[in-house]
C-alpha cells in the first residue's frame, strides 16, 4: 500500500483544484465566510450530522480526530465523496431553484503505531455562490437595478493524528490549512445607459493560514455487548491571515455624454483600487457528543455545538453575525453485520435530524436551519469496504421581514475502501 502514496498525494493536489470550483447557490452566502460546510462525511450526514462520539474501525470520522485510533493496526482506509444539491428559494412572490453536483471530500486514514493513528484529507470549509437582482424606483431617475454576485469558497487540507492517552481515553489533533478566495461583486445600474454611468464594485478576499482543532473521546463497556462513548471537540479562537482587494469603478457604457449636462460623466474611471492585509477572526468552537452501541448492530448518537461569531471581525468591518448553536442526532441499525447469507442483513440503515440557530442575524432575526436525513451503508465485496448514501431535506431562513426562505435537498455519495497497510505478500 505504501507504494501508492505518491499517487494519493497527487489525488490530494487534484482534489484541491476541484474544490476551488465551487458549485453553490445561496443568497445568504454573501455574509461572513459564506455557508459553512455540512458536518462530517456521508455516514454522519445520514445520521443528522452526529459523530463527535463515534468510533469506527472501517470509517473515517473527521468530526473528532480522537476517533482515528479506532482503526486497527493493519488497515488503510480511503474515502471519496460527492454531493448533489437542489435548492428552492422563495421571497414574497419571487421563486428560484438551483441544482448542482460537486466534490465533497477525499481522505485517507492509517495506523502509525499500535497506539497511534493518522488521517489526511481535503474538504470544503465554506462556500460562496449567489446571484441577486433587486429593483428600486427613484421619482427623479426612474428604476435603478442592483446586482449582487458572489462565488468561491474556502477549502481545508488537514493532517490529523490521535493516540491512546490513558486506558480507553483517546486524544486527537487536526492540523488544518485553510486556503481559498471569496469573490464578491456589486453593480448599480441606472436607466438609459447611453446617458448615465453605473458603479461597479469588486472585492476579492484571499485566505491562507493554519488552524487546529482538538478532540477527546472516552469509551467504556457497560455490559457484555453494550458500549457508551463520550466525545468533546475544541477549536480555539484564531486570527486567520487574509488579503482583501477592492476595485470600485464608474463605467460609462455609451460613446460620449452630452456636454451640456454637467451631472453626467463621459469617461469610465476608477474610484478606488486598494489592497489590504488583515485578519479574519474565527471564534472558539466547542462540541460535545455521546453515543451508545449494542452488539455492533445498533448505534445512537447526539451532538451539540456552540460558536459565538458576534465579536468576529472581517478586515475591521461589521457583519450581521451572532452566536451559533446546533443539535444533531441519529441512529444506525445493521440487522446482522456478520451474516453469510442475506445481503440486506449486512446493510446499515441510518436516520437522523438536526436543528441549528445559524451564525447569521438579519433584520433582527436569527436564521434557523432544520432538517431530517436518512441513508444506507452498502457493503462491497471486501466486507470492510462500503458504498455510502445519504439524503438530507431541510429548510433555512424565513419569509418574514423581507427575508429569503431556502428549501433544500442534499444527496451525498461516498465510497470507503479498505486495504492492508503493512502486510507483505509472500507470493506474486
Q: What percent of the chain has pLDDT over 90?
A: 51
Q: What is the pLDDT of residue 260?
A: 47
**Which stretches of the chain drop beneath a pLDDT of 50?**
1, 256-266, 426-428
Q: First vs last Cα of the chain: how many Å apart?
A: 15
DSSP letter at 321? B
d(CA 332, CA 61): 15
Query: What pLDDT digit, counting tens, does each position of 43-97 carry?
Result: 999 999 999 999 998 999 999 999 999 998 888 999 999 999 999 988 877 788 8
Say which residues have a Cβ less than 8 Å from residue 176's Cβ, sequence separation at least 6. Answer: 156, 157, 158, 210, 211, 212, 213
Q: What is the pLDDT of residue 27?
A: 86
Element holding 78 (H helix, E strand)? strand 75-91
The pLDDT value recorded for residue 113 is 86
Domain residues of the chain, as ranges? 2-420
The model's pLDDT over 192-230, given as tens digits with 9 standing for 90+, comes to 655 566 788 999 999 999 999 999 999 999 888 899 999
**Closest to 169 in 3D by CA, of 300, 50, 67:** 67
Please give the grid coordinates belonging to residue 281. 477572526
**Is this model's pTM higher than 0.75 or not?**
yes
pLDDT of residue 428: 46
Provide the CA 169 distance to its chain's centre, in angstroms.
28
Angstrom distance (rounded) from CA 182 to CA 217: 35
β partners of residue 106:
80, 122
- Homologous superfamily (CATH) of 2-420 is Outer membrane protein transport protein (OMPP1/FadL/TodX) (2.40.160.60)
Question: What pLDDT was estimated at residue 137?
Answer: 77
Give the strand pairing for 285-294 and 226-235.
Answer: antiparallel
pLDDT of res. 427? 45
Amino acid at each position: 500500500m505504501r507504494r501508492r502514496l505518491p499517487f494519493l498525494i497527487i489525488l490530494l493536489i487534484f482534489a484541491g483544484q476541484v474544490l476551488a470550483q465551487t458549485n453553490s447557490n445561496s443568497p445568504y452566502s454573501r455574509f461572513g465566510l459564506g455557508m459553512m460546510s455540512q458536518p462530517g462525511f456521508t455516514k454522519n450526514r445520514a445520521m443528522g450530522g452526529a459523530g463527535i462520539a463515534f468510533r469506527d474501525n472501517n470509517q473515517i470520522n473527521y468530526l473528532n480526530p480522537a476517533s482515528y485510533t479506532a482503526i486497527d493496526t493493519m488497515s488503510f482506509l480511503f474515502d471519496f465523496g460527492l454531493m448533489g444539491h437542489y435548492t428552492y428559494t422563495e421571497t414574497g412572490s419571487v421563486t428560484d431553484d438551483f441544482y448542482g453536483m460537486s466534490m465533497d471530500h477525499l481522505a485517507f486514514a492509517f495506523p502509525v503505531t499500535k497506539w497511534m493513528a493518522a488521517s489526511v484529507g481535503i474538504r470544503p470549509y465554506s462556500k460562496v455562490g449567489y446571484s441577486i437582482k433587486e429593483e428600486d424606483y427613484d421619482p427623479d431617475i426612474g428604476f435603478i437595478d442592483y446586482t449582487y454576485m458572489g462565488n468561491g469558497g474556502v477549502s481545508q487540507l488537514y493532517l490529523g493524528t490521535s493516540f491512546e492517552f490513558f486506558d480507553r481515553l483517546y486524544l486527537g489533533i487536526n492540523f488544518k490549512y485553510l486556503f481559498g478566495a471569496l469573490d464578491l461583486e456589486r453593480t448599480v445600474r441606472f436607466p438609459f445607459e447611453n446617458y448615465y454611468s453605473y458603479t461597479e464594485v469588486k472585492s476579492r478576499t484571499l485566505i491562507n493560514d493554519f488552524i487546529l482543532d482538538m478532540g477527546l473521546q472516552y469509551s467504556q463497556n457497560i455490559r457484555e455487548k453494550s458500549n457508551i462513548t463520550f466525545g468533546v471537540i475544541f477549536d480555539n479562537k484564531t486570527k486567520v491571515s487574509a488579503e482583501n482587494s477592492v476595485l470600485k469603478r464608474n463605467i460609462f457604457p455609451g460613446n460620449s455624454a452630452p456636454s451640456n449636462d454637467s451631472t453626467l460623466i463621459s469617461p469610465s474611471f476608477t474610484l478606488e483600487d486598494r489592497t489590504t492585509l488583515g485578519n479574519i477572526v474565527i471564534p472558539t468552537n466547542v462540541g460535545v457528543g455521546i453515543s451508545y452501541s449494542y452488539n455492533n448492530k445498533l448505534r445512537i448518537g447526539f451532538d451539540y455545538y456552540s460558536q459565538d461569531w458576534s465579536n468576529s471581525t472581517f478586515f475591521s468591518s461589521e457583519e450581521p453575525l451572532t452566536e451559533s448553536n446546533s443539535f444533531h442526532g441519529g441512529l444506525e441499525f445493521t440487522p446482522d453485520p456478520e451474516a453469510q447469507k442475506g445481503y440486506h442483513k449486512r446493510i446499515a440503515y441510518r436516520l437522523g435530524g438536526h436543528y441549528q440557530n445559524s451564525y447569521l442575524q438579519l433584520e433582527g432575526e436569527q436564521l434557523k436551519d432544520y432538517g431530517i436525513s436518512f441513508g444506507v451503508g452498502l457493503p462491497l465485496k471486501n466486507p470492510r469496504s462500503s458504498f455510502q448514501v445519504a439524503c438530507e431535506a431541510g429548510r433555512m431562513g424565513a419569509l418574514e421581514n423581507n427575508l429569503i426562505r431556502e428549501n433544500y435537498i442534499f444527496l451525498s455519495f461516498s465510497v470507503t475502501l479498505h486495504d492492508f497497510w503493512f502486510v507483505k505478500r509472500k507470493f506474486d
